[in-house]
Structure 1
Amino acid sequence: MSAARDSKSLSGIAINNSPHVQQLQKTAPPHLGLVCITFSKEVRFRTITRTRYLQLPEEQRETALKVLYRENLQRLDLALTFCVRNSIRLYRMPSGLFPMSDLEDEIGATVLEKMSADLAKIGQRAERLGIRMVLHPDQYVVLSSDSPHVVTTSLKILDRHARTLDLLGLPRSSWSLMNIHGGKSQRADQLVGVISELPENIKSRLTLENDEHAYSASEILQVCQRAEIPLVFDAHHHICHENLDSYDHPSVAEMLYAARETWANPDWQLVHISNGEEAFGDRKHSDLITAMPNVYREVPWIEVEAKHKEEAIARIASAGFF
């Protein structure tokens, strides 16, 4: 049975003798991150569909968004409280935290600007608590698309997210990153070109992640190196793309170390972990994490992409992975 399939056997494959691998110097266990909501109903957010929003009379749209945004801001504050109570120091905010704020009517954007003082208080509280807040914009952000319209829309979405992070008072750096996928395959040159033209408030926070379809870890690494932005390494996407049978295949560690070199501050390096739902190479995420790359002991920050959210984090913390 492979190390990845047996949650009790995570000794991994020896890689320390590789001339291409430089070990991270790290002693503290990684900080584990909560993704958006809790498995319990404690952290939840409201939304409104585009169809429903456009059905509202224009004079009601601003009021509807004011109520929704204020409630979601309160729930964001509750999310920070939840993180503190559960010793979680990384929180991925929902991409739909403030729906309709990137529409052409700019009603949502205006509402957020008027709430700037309230948003700033949340960011200040996160800083006091030592909680790192990050974003993963939705799948509609495709900077490598063949369609100019899709690229333009993607830039608008990223601009809105960056402005929200600014209003929260979060730094323009990969500490408060916005992580996206490479998008359309075999479009590395366009991807690098678009990223090079991004405004500072976006590019300073942008990271790219390898995926299981379009961009392998080695391919997106080259993009990150050329564009001079960090790579968020996802071990599960890597094993799916390469059809591997263990999280401790030597290439996992090699890619993690290579990704580390793209981070100006290695102490901020962020990785993702998930497991297959029904089989090791299943792309669907499992409820809990029962297998972890041995080399993940050496990273500072891990987002836990498991369906049972805080329960998965608690199991990792108590299972002796680190």
Structure 2
Amino acid sequence: MIPLGNHPLGQIWDFTEALKEELVNIGQVVKKHKMKVSTHPGQYTVINTNNEKTLENSIRDLIYHDKLLTAMGLNNEAVMVVHVGGVYGNKEKSLQRFADNFHLLPPTVQARLVIENDDTSYSIKDVLELCKKIKRPMVLDVHHHNCYNQGERLEDYLPAIFATWNNLERPPKIHFSSPKSAKEYASHAEYINVDDFIKFIKLAQGYTFDVMIEAKKQDAALLKLREELLQKIR
């Protein structure tokens, strides 16, 4: 939203003061309509990096996201979603480095961070253990779990994953998407496969949670899914 907001050159301009009225107005709209707002810092924001400069840049980016949400008047229910990062040849050491570097973050940033499982390196088991260690919520990405897992069954892990959100007033947040194709399985499809969605909802029956749809057609995908769900129950 803010050009150069996370760049060293951008630090000479206090966007929270210059855009104070506009950001407050955005926050008021968010609260009025009870929107669930989150940010997802980019792929170059890596908390478990073993490179000092990359860590410095990552911390600056996370501070930028926190300042933006705070300037809107949004509390810690407006979360910042991050992945664990790289493996760097040793998964256990890389998980521990995330925990160590997490404690270098400002408290306001720590209070917004939630950790998501990814599609290549860190499974729901890995991320859940990390989240318990640093006492932060876990975002379950169902598609990522289907892409990369270590044999974990979702039904065995859902209670513990959702329990990581117990200290927040908002419900747990999950991501749901469908594969583009068998060949490009990791890529997001334009729409959501309604049968796969129903299968997961049945699996998670009894829990209250928010679902973020990740699909190339965005709102159109949501509307199509809603219509298909209605057709299934008619």
* Same fold per superposition (TM over 0.5): yes
Q: 1:261 to 1:243 in 2, by over 3 A?
A: closer
CA distance in 1, matches of 2:223, 2:26: 25
User: Is the CA contact (8 Å cut-off) linking 2:16 and 2:67 kept in structure 1?
Assistant: no
User: Does residue 1:286 correspond to 2:194, yes or no?
Assistant: no
Structural mapping, 1:58-77, within 5 Å: none
2:53 matched residue in structure 1: 149
User: Does residue 1:181 correspond to 2:83, yes or no?
Assistant: yes
User: Is the CA contact (8 Å cut-off) linking 1:102 and 1:109 kept in structure 2?
Assistant: no
1:114 matched residue in structure 2: 18
Selected match of 1:194 from 77, 101, 105: 101
1:270 matched residue in structure 2: 173
Radius of gyration: which is bigger? 1
User: Which 5+ residue runs of structure 1 have no aligned equivalent?
Assistant: 1-96, 245-249
Selected match of 1:254 from 146, 151, 156: 156
1:130 matched residue in structure 2: 34
State the percentage of identical aligned residues: 23
2:143 matched residue in structure 1: 236
- State the Cα distance separating 1:182 from its structure 2 match: 0.3
User: Does residue 1:203 correspond to 2:110, yes or no?
Assistant: yes
User: Which 5+ residue runs of structure 2 have no aligned equivalent?
Assistant: none
Q: 1:266 to 1:273 in 2, by over 3 A?
A: farther
CA distance in 1, matches of 2:203, 2:83: 23
Q: State the AA in 1 paired with 2:133.
A: R
User: Is the CA contact (8 Å cut-off) linking 1:270 and 1:301 kept in structure 2?
Assistant: yes
Q: State the AA in 1 paired with 2:81.
A: N
Q: What's the C-alpha RMSD, in Å, of the aligned pairs?
A: 2.1
1:101 matched residue in structure 2: 5
TM-score w.r.t. the length of structure 2 is 0.86
CA distance in 2, matches of 1:230, 1:309: 25
How many residues in Structure 1 have an aligned counterpart in Structure 2?
219
Q: 1:107 to 1:158 in 2, by over 3 A?
A: closer
- State the Cα distance separating 1:243 from its structure 2 match: 8.1
- State the Cα distance separating 1:119 from its structure 2 match: 0.4
- State the Cα distance separating 1:104 from its structure 2 match: 1.6
Bigger relative contact order, structure 1 or 2, given CA contacts below 8 A and separation 6+? 1
1:47 matched residue in structure 2: none
Q: State the AA in 2 paired with 1:295.
A: L
CA distance in 2, matches of 1:287, 1:208: 25
User: Is the CA contact (8 Å cut-off) linking 1:240 and 1:281 kept in structure 2?
Assistant: no
CA distance in 1, matches of 2:169, 2:183: 29
